[in-house]
Structures are given as structure tokens and as C-alpha cells.
Amino acid sequence: MEFFNLIAVEEAKDRLMDTFHGFHLEKEEVHILESTNRVLAEDIVSDIDVPEFNRSTVDGYAIRSQDSYGASESVPSLLKIIGKVEIGKVPAKKIGAGEAMYVPTGGMIPEGADGVVMIEYTEKLDEEELMVYKSISDHENVTYKGDDIKEGEVALRRGRILTPEAVGVLAALGISKVKVYEKPKFYIISTGDEVVAIDEKLELGKIRDINTYTLYSLITRLGGQVVGKAIVKDDYDLLRDEVEKALDMTHIVLISGGSSVGNRDYTAKVINSFDGKGVFVHGIAIKPGKPTIIGEGKGKVIFGLPGHPVSSIVVFKTLVEAFVRRKMGAKEYLPSTRALLDFNCPSAPGRKTYQLVNLREVDGIVYATPSFGKSGMITLLSNADGYIVLEPHEEGAYKGEEREVYLL
Amino acid sequence: MEFFNLIAVEEAKDRLMDTFHGFHLEKEEVHILESTNRVLAEDIVSDIDVPEFNRSTVDGYAIRSQDSYGASESVPSLLKIIGKVEIGKVPAKKIGAGEAMYVPTGGMIPEGADGVVMIEYTEKLDEEELMVYKSISDHENVTYKGDDIKEGEVALRRGRILTPEAVGVLAALGISKVKVYEKPKFYIISTGDEVVAIDEKLELGKIRDINTYTLYSLITRLGGQVVGKAIVKDDYDLLRDEVEKALDMTHIVLISGGSSVGNRDYTAKVINSFDGKGVFVHGIAIKPGKPTIIGEGKGKVIFGLPGHPVSSIVVFKTLVEAFVRRKMGAKEYLPSTRALLDFNCPSAPGRKTYQLVNLREVDGIVYATPSFGKSGMITLLSNADGYIVLEPHEEGAYKGEEREVYLL
């Protein structure tokens, strides 16, 4: 007996993307010092060459490379020192045949020179005479104007997560403010007569609200913001009032709990009571996470997540994160590693199964051990290193198989 | 001709840890909603059992399992329904032989019952009679008191990064405030006559300050805070004044730039001018990143990082991050994946070489292509997916070799 029609994870994602194809996040401008981990909402086109001039990559002497041809330890070239390039300044002279100028790392290459011989391969006889003990090739130790980034080039693309490296590119271009996507706004509702707030006294038979905190933390990591949260009893009117309030403030409403049949009905009924498409996914072929609901109300996304902390985390990572990343044009990036299974691992037939594993390395080989335990155990998740995904058509994964492990 | 004695990366790390073995970060208390990505500064010992009572993991009927023995589709057991467990409440009755009580997911198991038969395998004939079509085993579908976390158990250890899963454990224990390590304080000084602030006009021959921004971003990601920053000309007195100011405000001072020989001398001289051990690492066998200085002044850590953005990022990740993580008792965690090299890759003899690579997947096999380019190119880094590490004794890495790629 099944209480709802399960659909495949990919089908659920497709319906979610289709329903909200018109949904978009606003852009906002931030200083690059505050931009780390935000997602770029515009293409960055360079209006300069980087570097803006030909630079030396070493401390040495700028010369015409042909003047060093044939030079060696035993037969050095003798060149004339005509001056020194000051760092940060335009060289005062040009290099002619047989001439050399000292240039520090990052210094500008004087006109006429086409290479820099490292100071280690030279010897100054006096203020004017330089012995060069090595032949250099054309362009050696020089970064040319535009070598790094060319004027007119797209230096960073929309959807790019602003890592330290990307922030470095912005700085190189002299860009101090960038457009990023606003932080998506979430409202978290935890439902259930048995759910008690973290600082309330726990009576026997009740349980602490866990989902509000794990979801809050997942949202923080995803780069979203929580604009409100509430614990609501199993009551249609109370839940509807709370969701109505949430819809006016947020992009995405997460209702967790209601894993018993009656509660699931409330959640679906509440979602269907608002203007909009209502519930369009009711049950997903995923383990854990089956009793998941997705709906639309007043143009906002409403997720009915399972009450079990582990299940709600899996569904958040699988669907909520995918949705937000897609809306930011960012790649879905899941850090992973490959590992050998050291234990057989059953799957739920017909459902995409997320199996938690622990990793250990022995003699350079990484092994993954499935962590089995009862549904809803938070330590199962907090002690796991990652998970493997078993597709619905697979019967399981076997000891000795190599699998991709997605890291938690 | 070498300007300083290079020491191995591991030796540099050892000297750093030895010199600052007495250095510690303070602890501070934060609400768990604000704790994501912080590092736990205390062991969390549970003072309760989680769950605090025996719970059902399904919707079904709590029974004595032996009453279901032998039950099947064709030969069901007939049991007497004596009531219903309300979610969040203590059951009003005990289960005796031949009796059953409805219990929702998360509901408390009534005394006398030792298993729950899922509702799917039952049929209610009337208010009092229940057909059970499946035999269950002892403890089936029950999470017992303390199954998840036991009273007195260390649920999370000091040094644990507070992931959503770890935050979930804290919530399960009813802990709303935790001790985490204070965010380490950094001061960033960018040196060089050629370095210009991001919003200043760029004259020919000068370059934009990139390191302040990449370092700021790296510090943000590491969970530190920047308490000050400055650009300083190549001048001993100016640099000394700035470092003196920095030492009073921070844990760690980062001086970047000064990759030319003269500047390196300034940095070392400035570090040696303060009370303390002074410079204890001057040049590291690492590529890129060779001209790195580490010193101690007034009990604070002072890094002289290379001026090249790419080099300073590599040194930050290798030494600064390792230091901070160690001081927080956190594991050094580097997300990585294995990949086949599709190109030969030379190394710098005698130096630990960090070679940037790009990843691509073809038919399920991940290939890594080394990204070659001139020293100091920021796009080289911003376009790379990760890097491989070549040990000082290696001559290079070869096409077809499988290597660990550390992700950027």
C-alpha cells in the first residue's frame, strides 16, 4: 500500500525547474571585500590589459636576447649597463645592441629589450660592465601586456562563485564593487505536536526541534538567509497562518515534519489553499526522503520536508540546493572522492538511495564503509564522512566496487 | 647563487608549530544558529539519552513481536486494538499478550510492546480488531532510548567543524550555546613602491594591489577576521611603524610583496627589530612561494609572503591555514579527487612543487591537464580547478599517472 505516487528525483527536479522557470533572484552590489562565496550576477569584461605593460618576472637585466646567444659559464657575453629600472616607474632609457638595464621583479621592461637574464647568471664587473653567463631566448622572463587578461575579454562569467582566486581577478582589473545575486530568503517551519523548542523543558514523549537548526545551518552554508522561523502544532489553521506570513517575506518556505500521514495531508492542503499551482510533487523515489512535497503558492517555492533530520538534510541537498544554485547560474558542485566499498550495501528497489559511508585510508587506498543505523539517527549523519548514491535500477553496491563518495 | 637557505615545507611547518607551541586562541560562546563553520572549542558530553524514550520509526501498531510470529498474507494474526498513542504523549496503556496500539512515527512505544508492525501490513476489521499480515522481529521499527546518543557519551569532540550535521547533534541535546574558538585576527600589509590601491588611478609601470583582496578572501573562508590592512611603500621605517601597529591588534600579520631582494631584506629586518625570536624561516623549498619568511615578534606570528598573487595563495594555504587549523585542533581537510594526468608535468628539483591543473571528465574518467603559464598570472589560478603536489625528490609527473588533485 503506497500513500502517494512516487516520482523519480530527476522528474521532481524537472517539475521544480519548469514551475519556477520565471522565478529569479535580484542582483545587488557588494564590495569585493564582502564578496567571498557570493555568486557573480554579471559577466566581468575587462576594460584593461593585465598586466598593462611588459613586466619582468625575475630580478635581472633586461637585454636584447640575441646579445646573450652563445653565452656560457666559460664564454660570457660582455654587455654595457646603461641604468636601472625603478619599480613602479617608466624606464628612462631604451635598450640598444650590447646594452643592459637592471630590472627588479615586476619592473617594466625598457623599450628595445625582449628578455631578462636572471641576476644569478650575471656578474657586474663595475658600474658599467656586465658579464652574462647564460643564453636566454626571446621573451624569456617577461610577462607581456595582456598576457594575463586581455582588454575586452570576459574575465569571469555570471554564476561564478567568488573564490579568493576570482576576487584576485577583480582586484587585478581594479573593480571594487560587483553585482552578485541577493541571498535567497528562507522561512523555516517545524511542525509536530511532539516538537519542542531548544530551550523549552522536554517532557517525556516529546522531542527537540532539530530540523530548524540543521536547515538554518544548511542555508547559511548555501549562502542564503533565514528571515523567520517557527514551530507549529499539527493544526491546519495554525500552519496556514504561519505559511501565509512566510510567503510574504521569503523566496522559499521550508515546512519540515509531518512525516505521519495525517500531517502530510495538512501540509499539502495548506499549500493548495493559496493562489498558485499548489502541490506538484507529492512523494519522491528517494531514500531517505520519500514523503517530500513540493508546491507553489503566491509565486513562492514551498517544500514539505520529511521530519527525520537525516531525511530532510538529504532532500535539502538534493533539491533545495540544486534549485538555488540553478537560479544563480552556478554549477552544481559536489566535492567527492572515489573509494572502494568494503561492505555490501543494499538499496531500496525503485528509489534513488543515499547511503551514508565512513572513509578510511589504508596504504594509500581509500575505503568506504556503509554506516547503517535506524532512520532518524542524527549521529549516523554527523559521524559519516559522505554518501554514495545508488540509482533506482541498481540492486545494491558490492564489496570491492569503486564508487564516487560525495563528501558531507 | 641562492639568496637564502631553503628549508623543506615540513621543516618550516615544524619550526612554526614549535615556536608557537604556547600560542592559543581564546574561546567564545555563540548561539548554535551562529555557529555554522566555527570550530568547537570544547568536548560536548551528552547529559541525556537521545532519544529519551523508545520511539517508533514508522506509522503502525505497537505489539509484542511474538504475537506476529508465523503471520502472513494468507494466515494473518488477529490482535485486539486497545487504543492509540498520541504523538508527544506518554501512552495511557500497556500492551499485553494479543494486544496492539496504533503508534505514529516518532510516537512513544507503550510498555510491553517490543516492535511495531507497519500499517501497510495490517488491516483494521473494526475499532477493536486488527489483522496483521506479516511477522516482525524483536525490536523491529523501534529506536530505543539512547540508541542515537547515550548519556555521558562524548557526542562531538573539540576541534570539530560545526557542519549542519554537528549543529543537529547540538540541537538534539538541547544545547543552544556552545564554546567555539575566537576568529583569529589578521592584519594584511601589502608592500611595494609599484603597488596601487584598488580605487586609485593606475599610472603606467604600477600595478594594482591584488594580494590584500585574495588574502582577505582566504581569511574569510578560513573563518578568520581582518582587523586592519594597509599598503606600504618600500621603506624600512614606514613598514616598521605599520607592523608595530599591527602587532598590537592581531594574532597574525601578513606582509605580502617584497619579492625583490631588497624588499625581502626590509621585511626580515623589520621582523627582527621587535622583541621576540625574529625570523626563523627565510626561504622555503616550495614552488611557487620560495621567498617566504616566517618570524615571531611580540608573541605574534609574522609571515612575509611572496608578492606574486599565485605564490602568496599557495603559501597561505600551505602554512597559514595549517597553523590556524592546528591551533583550533581541527583536522587539516583538503577536498580532493583522483585524476589521470594527460600531459607530462615537470617539477622544480629539490622543491615541493604545486602544479595547477584543470579537470575534465570523459566517459566517467577524470583527466587532469596541467595549466602552464607565467609566474604571477592570476587567471592561471582563477581558471584552474585544483593542483597536484610533486614532492622534492620527484623529477616530475608523467602522462597516464593517477594523481591526487586538491580542489581549489
CATH number at residue A398: 2.40.340.10
Contact B1/A at CB under 8 A: yes
State whether A313 and B1 contact (CB < 8 Å).
no
Cβ–Cβ contact B209 with A under 8 A: yes
CA distance B163 to A175: 33
Q: DSSP assignment of A215-240, as one string?
A: HHHHHHHHT-EEEEEEEE-S-HHHHH
Is residue B2 assigned to a domain? no
Q: What is the reported pLDDT for B377? A: 81
Whether residues B35 and B91 share a domain: the answer is: no
Domain count, chain B: 4
* A261 part of a folded domain: yes
> What is the average per-residue pLDDT within A90-102?
96
Q: Do A308 and A375 share a structural domain?
A: no
Least confident of A15-29, A259-273, B161-175, B201-215: A259-273
Q: Do B171 and A210 lie within an 8 Å CB cutoff?
A: yes
Q: Are B132 and B63 in contact (CB under 8 A)?
A: yes
- Same-domain check for residues B21 and B36: no
Q: Which of A37-41, A169-173, B359-363 has the lowest mean pLDDT?
A: B359-363
In a domain? residue A22? yes
Asked if the Cβ–Cβ distance from A216 to B374 is below 8 Å, we say: no
Co-location of A317 and A240 in the same domain: yes
| B80 min Cα distance to partner chain A (Å) | 22
Beta strand segments in B257-298, E? 278-282, 286-287, 293-297
Which residues of chain B have a CB within 8 Å of the CB of A36? Answer: 216-217, 220-221
Confidence of residue B23 (pLDDT cuts 50, 70, 90): very high
| Across B258-285, average pLDDT | 85
**CATH label of the domain that carries residue B113:** 2.170.190.11
User: What is the residue-wise DSSP string for B348-363?
Assistant: -TTSEEEEEEEEEEET
User: pLDDT for A246-295, tens place per residue?
Assistant: 999 999 999 998 655 666 678 999 999 999 999 999 999 998 888 899 99
pLDDT confidence of residue A2: 43
Q: Hey, are the CB atoms on B88 and A59 less than 8 Å from each other?
A: no
The confidence band for A5, taking pLDDT boundaries of 50, 70 and 90, is confident
Sign of the Cα torsion B130, B133, B137, B143 reads: negative
Last residue of a domain, one of B263, B293, B327: B327
Measured between alpha carbons, how far is A55 from A41 in angstroms, rounded to an integer?
Answer: 32
d(CA B40, CA B27): 9
Domain end call among B143, B173, B204: B143
Does residue B135 lie in a domain region? yes
Mean pLDDT of B20-30: 96
Query: Which percentage of chain B shows pLDDT scores above 70?
Result: 96
**Which of the residue ranges A241-250, A393-402, B96-105 would you say has the lowest mean pLDDT?**
A393-402
Is the pLDDT score of A182 beyond 70? yes
User: Mean pLDDT in chain A?
Assistant: 92
Considering only CB atoms, A206 lies closest to which of B88, B214, B220, namely: B88
Residue A3 included in any domain: no
User: What pLDDT digit, counting tens, does each position of A8-20 carry?
Assistant: 999 999 999 999 9
Whether residue A228 lies within 8 A of chain B, CB to CB, comes out as no
A190 and A290 inside one domain: yes
Q: Determine contact: B204 vs chain A, CB below 8 A.
A: yes
For residue A275, the distance in angstroms to the closest alpha carbon of chain B comes to 31
Contacts of B261 in chain A (CB under 8 A): 59, 119
pLDDT more than 90, % of chain B: 75
Asked if residue A303 and residue A192 are part of one domain, the reply reads: yes
| CA gap A85, A103 in Å, rounded | 5
Are A278 and A199 part of one and the same domain? Answer: yes
**In the structure, what pLDDT confidence band is assigned to residue A407 with cuts at 50, 70 and 90?**
confident
Query: What grid cell was written down for B22?
Result: 604556547
Residue range B181-185: average pLDDT? 97
Concatenating the DSSP letter of every residue in A88-99 gives TS--SS---TTE
Confidence of residue A332 (pLDDT cuts 50, 70, 90): low
Instruction: Copy the grid coordinates of residue A392.
Output: 533506482
Contacts of A208 in chain B (CB under 8 A): 171-174
Residue A200 placed within a domain: yes
Q: Are residues A127 and A90 in the same domain?
A: yes
Residues A265 and A199 reside in one and the same domain? yes
Contact residues, chain B, for A337 at CB < 8 Å: 335-338
CATH of the domain at A177: 3.90.105.10
**From the CA of A221, how many Å to the nearest CA of chain B?**
8
B314 touches chain A (CB under 8 A): no
CB under 8 Å to B83, separation ≥6 — which residues?
A: B91, B92, B93, B101, B102
Sequence-separated (6 or more) residues with CB below 8 Å from residue B287: B347, B348, B351, B352, B353, B354
Closest partner residue to A120 among B1, B57, B156, by Cβ? B1
Same domain, A72 and A161: no
pLDDT digits (tens, 9 = 90+) for A195-221: 999 988 889 999 899 999 999 999 999
State yes or no: pLDDT of B2 exceeds 60: no
pLDDT for A354 beyond 80: yes
For chains A and B, CB pairs below 8 A equal: 271
**Domain CATH number, residue B297:** 3.40.980.10
pTM confidence score: 0.92
Task: Mark which residues 87-106 of A lie under 8 Å from B by CB.
Answer: 87-90, 104-106
Q: What is the pLDDT of residue A406?
A: 87
Q: Where among B327, B345, B373 does a domain terminate? A: B327
> Is there a domain that residue B208 lies in?
yes
Give A272 to chain B, closest Cα distance, Å: 24
Q: Closest partner residue to B52 among A1, A120, A202, by Cβ?
A: A202
pLDDT given at position A1: 32
Q: What is the pLDDT of residue A346?
A: 85
The model's pLDDT over B33-89, given as tens digits with 9 standing for 90+, comes to 999 999 999 999 999 999 999 999 889 999 999 999 999 999 999 999 999 999 889
Question: Cβ of B194 and A164 within 8 Å?
Answer: no
The answer to whether the beta carbons of residues A294 and A255 sit under 8 Å apart is no
pLDDT at B385 over 80: yes
Are residues B219 and B322 part of one domain? yes
Domain assignment of residue B271, yes or no:
yes
A217 to B164: CB separation less than 8 angstroms, yes or no: yes
> Does B241 reach chain A within 8 Å, measured CB to CB?
no
Smallest Cβ distance to B168: which of A120, A170, A213? A213
What is the residue range of B159's domain? 31-50+149-181
Residues B209, B321: one domain?
A: yes
Using H for helix, E for strand and C for coil, what is the string for B116-156? EEEHHHEEECCCCEEEECCCCCCCCCEECCCCCECCCCEEE
Closest chain A residue to the Cα of B208, Cα to Cα: A172
Q: Please, which pLDDT band fits residue B260 given cuts at 50, 70 and 90?
A: low
The span from the CA of B95 to the CA of A400, in Å, is 46
How far, in Å, CA of A370 to CA of B361, rounded?
Answer: 26
